[in-house]
Chain A
Amino acid sequence: MSEQTETTSSTAAQRPEVNTESSGGQFEGKTVLESRDLDVYYGETQALQDVSLQIPEKQVTAMIGPSGCGKSTFLRCLNRMNDLVDTAHIEGDVFFNGKNIYADDVESVALRRRIGMVFQHPNPFPKTIYDNVAYGLRVQNNEVTDDIIEDSLRRAALWDEVKDQLDTSALDLSGGQQQRLCIARAIAVDPDVILMDEPASALDPIATSKIEDLIEELAEEYTVVIVTHNMQQAARISDKTAVFLTGGELVEFDDTNKIFENPENQRVEDYITGKFG
């Protein structure tokens, strides 16, 4: 195991409630999400091995790695989406603002109201554009106002394209627009964190670049965690990068620049330079 991951996990184990990372000075700002010794099993198969890392506030943290490396599994642990998989079994802890989200008194539904999610394939509901954005507010019993809808769509860079067709079906939009609608839908409820599971992998290059621009803007207000199999994308938009390799092992986690220019672990370097993966 690399020196880097060891440092991360040992510091975390000592001081869960302290959010500012002190060692090495590479973690500026507050930690929002932190996983400690996280193991995930699907039935008999282990999908994540002993993953410990800290996700800083209002930055873009990217998870990269070859397919089947557990990066999406890790993302789904952060808002307990894995609860919906019957065979999933989780050991270890995840802290959200210092609170263990796998504690008995935490309701996964309440957690997901604070940690939103955008999926690989655009999945707008077969409702109107307006109702899609309002959905989260409605299920959380919050007031829906036209201002919130407009603001969310503006922040998702979609307002100008759809403002005259808010009451038409969301399914009439193009794939890229649908994905931005899903982002608008997620930010309408004003979460702390937005998780994105390969949000651009199903889109064409133009739509992808729009989503990438959007992610960078979102990081000014939200903590963004993004899973991607596209290393260039991670390099372009993320501040921190975590590299997972086969078997669900977190091999290295550091500033994106460092990972891509001077990784400490040989396997990471091999992966980045395309020797495998």
Chain B
Amino acid sequence: MAAETDPTFDGGSELRRRKLLGQVFEGVLVASTLVGVLALVALFVLIGNDALGPAEADASWFLLYFVTLVAPTSVYTLLVRRDEVASSINGLSFATVFGSLIGSAVVYVVVDSVRPHDVAIYLVVGSLFPALVLAYNRITGGSHYTGPALPVSILFGLVSARILYPFIIPVISIVADWILFVVVVTGPVAAGLGLFVTSRWSRRYGAVTAVAVLGATLATAGVAITQGIDPALSVVLVSVVAGPVAVVSLDTFKRRETGRYGLLGPWLLIGGIVAGAWLERQLGIEGLETWLTPTLLLNSWSSFRPEQAGIYPQLVGSVLVVGTMAVLSFPVGVGAAIYLEEYAPSTGWRGRLATALDVNISNLAGVPSVVYGLLGLALFQNFFGVAPWLPRALGLKPSLVIAAAATLGLLILPIVIVSSQEALRSVPDELRQGSYGLGASRWQTIRNVVLPEAVPGILTGMILALGRAIGETAPLVIIGVATTTYSAPEGVFGSAAALPLQIFASAANSIPEYRTGVVAAASVILLATMLIMNSTAILIRNRYENN
């Protein structure tokens, strides 16, 4: 009543004051958020600027790339975004082209550094027994034993490969490297693509695809030999890149009526860069003064000549270490998550044990990474002082690829377990019930219903864990992996190397070209890897959440 009789009561200015306060508060919140974002932008811009050196480039250089690259891709992106079908085809096309390009680089580099002979022996002998098991399964129509027999046969195959190794190696070492690349890379790729096409179209097309991939690869290798080029790389490129890209493009072309132009995306990007580079040379335009050069990617490290320093050994080392880690750690992590989510009861002593395990895992996730380094050191140096002979007898040292991989594997185990648990938990219980109601056992339910549903979530967690492992430095320093390396590791029992270690070793180098050049470029590579992994994970997650 008082307010009505007195329209100028104090609430007016009081309210205005509070409104202003609220605006100031919101302003402070936005400002602090911006500080975080700006720090991120500053990091990328400053390091990127030093690595790429755009300041030295001529204005016409920017114009050139605007015409060849930026303008076409922008127009194309606007077009594609309007059309849902084209946009999904575009995504598929980008994933295929760049995924296979990265895949081929990784495959080539790993097989090359591990030596194609060794890979061939282990792959061929190792897959012999599993193939027999699968064939038996096919003929008899399946039995209870084939499931457990498969991993056992793989193990058996690897062991027999190890035993037969000295007998095979003299025979196989006569064979040229590129033929082994055909066996190791083209064979599986052709078989895989053949099976894919068989499932999508027909058995006949599948056979045609497999033969075509094999034929194209051999033809390219033949041309390369006559031109005097090493055919190994072209074998890998044709099999791993051209094969899948052709299959996916043809498949899309046949299945989709509209939006086929979505396939063009990656080619516009690649074409723009190639055309720009060609014109830049033809017209003699002053380009970027970049440290991100083929030299950097393909050379070995040099401690005194920054312009010759390369990080090839470190790149190979990172790929090998992280790949081995994935093989060692992911199955265990997913297995543990399956036990905790699907098997462990909530009551009784088993239930209490499961709760204890959950608490333990969340504590492990908080253990500093240096401590994992100390664990790896104790484990591979003298086996906790209990059995110093054991690591030696197994040929293990803390600085080997396998030891580094195992150490990082233990480090990321909690991450993999927790993210897999979340993925499993998000599978609706109704599906499990439906499966049990049809007389499926627990394992059958997990394998046929739960895991397929949880795969995108598990995959997301795995990619994020890989991203974490690729940048991990401290544990590797502790276990004594050399920070500066001049040659790539020779297989999983070779000396480890890793890209972040080189950044660590050279960040304070007294030659300024290292600090603001080579190291910046190496950091850009590490950052780009991390960004690609994170955005892949985010894309998978979004797609999965939308469905």
Contact = CB atoms under 8 A, between A and B. Distances in A.
Interface in A112-150: 112-114, 116-119, 121, 123-126, 135-136, 138-141, 143
Interface stretch (A29-37, A79-87, A204-212): A79-87
A141 to B, nearest CB: 7
Contact of B347 (A86, A121, A124, A136): A86
Contact of B437 (A110, A126, A140, A186): A186
Contact of A87 (B346, B431, B439, B452): B346
B444 interface: yes
Contacts of B441: 109, 139
B439 to A, nearest CB: 3
Nearest to A117: B437
B142 interface: yes
B222 interface: no
A127 to B, nearest CB: 8
B534 interface: no
A177 to B, nearest CB: 16
B347 A81 contact: no
B438 interface: yes
Contact of A121 (B430, B432, B449, B453): B430
Given A86-B345, A86-B351, A125-B431, A81 B437 contact: yes
Interface in B431-481: 431-441, 444, 448-449, 452-453
Interface residues of A, number: 30
A139 B434 contact: no
B436 A123 contact: no
Contacts of A218: none
A123 B345 contact: no
A185 B346 contact: no
A182 interface: yes
Nearest to A135: B438
Contacts of B434: 119, 123-125, 182, 185
A112 B431 contact: no
A84 B346 contact: no
Contacts of A118: 437
Nearest to A113: B439
B437 A112 contact: yes
Contacts of B432: 84
A189 interface: yes
A121 B430 CA distance: 8
A113 B444 CA distance: 13
A90 to B, nearest CB: 14
A136 B438 contact: yes
Contact of A123 (B346, B347, B431, B452): B431
B141 to A, nearest CB: 8
Contacts of A189: 438-439
A79 B453 contact: no
B420 to A, nearest CB: 19
Residue among B431, B433, B438, B449 with max Cβ neighbours from chain A (10 Å):
B438
B349 to A, nearest CB: 12
B344 to A, nearest CB: 9
Given A139-B441, A141-B142, A84 B430 contact: no
Given A86-B351, A87-B347, A126-B453, A112 B436 contact: yes
A117 B345 CA distance: 23
Contacts of A182: 434
Nearest to A87: B347
A84 B436 CA distance: 9
Nearest to B437: A117
Contact of A86 (B346, B431, B439, B449): B346
B544 to A, nearest CB: 12
A28 to B, nearest CB: 29
Given A86-B345, A125-B449, A139 B430 contact: no
Contact of A186 (B347, B433, B438, B449): B438
A126 B348 CA distance: 34
A112 B432 CA distance: 13
Contacts of B348: 86
Given A87-B346, A123-B431, A125-B449, A139 B440 contact: yes
Interface in A134-192: 135-136, 138-141, 143, 182, 185-186, 189
Contacts of A143: 141
Contacts of B439: 109-110, 112-114, 116, 136, 139-140, 189
Contacts of A141: 142
B435 A135 contact: yes
Interface in A92-126: 109-110, 112-114, 116-119, 121, 123-126
B145 to A, nearest CB: 12
Given A86-B346, A110-B439, A139-B439, A123 B448 contact: no
A109 B444 CA distance: 11
A274 to B, nearest CB: 31
Residue among A81, A139, A143 with max Cβ neighbours from chain B (10 Å):
A139
A109 B347 CA distance: 22
A119 B430 contact: yes
Contacts of B351: 86
A139 B345 CA distance: 24
Nearest to A137: B438
Interface in B114-168: 141-142
B156 to A, nearest CB: 25
A119 B433 contact: yes
A256 to B, nearest CB: 25
Nearest to B430: A123
A86 B350 CA distance: 11
Nearest to B427: A126
B454 to A, nearest CB: 11
A112 B430 contact: no
Contacts of B449: 125
Nearest to A185: B438
Contacts of A135: 435, 438, 440, 448
Nearest to A118: B437
A186 to B, nearest CB: 7
B255 to A, nearest CB: 14
A110 B441 CA distance: 9
Contacts of B452: 126
A124 B435 CA distance: 9
Interface of A: 79, 81, 84, 86-87, 109-110, 112-114, 116-119, 121, 123-126, 135-136, 138-141, 143, 182, 185-186, 189
Pairs of residues from A and B, 7 with the lowest C-beta to C-beta distance, nearest first: A113-B439, A117-B437, A136-B438, A123-B430, A139-B440, A123-B434, A112-B439
13 contacts: A81-B436, A86-B346, A86-B351, A112-B437, A113-B439, A117-B437, A119-B437, A125-B434, A126-B452, A138-B448, A139-B448, A140-B439, A185-B438
Given A119-B434, A141-B142, 14 more contacts: A81-B436, A81-B437, A86-B347, A86-B351, A109-B441, A112-B437, A113-B438, A116-B437, A117-B437, A118-B437, A123-B433, A125-B449, A135-B435, A189-B438
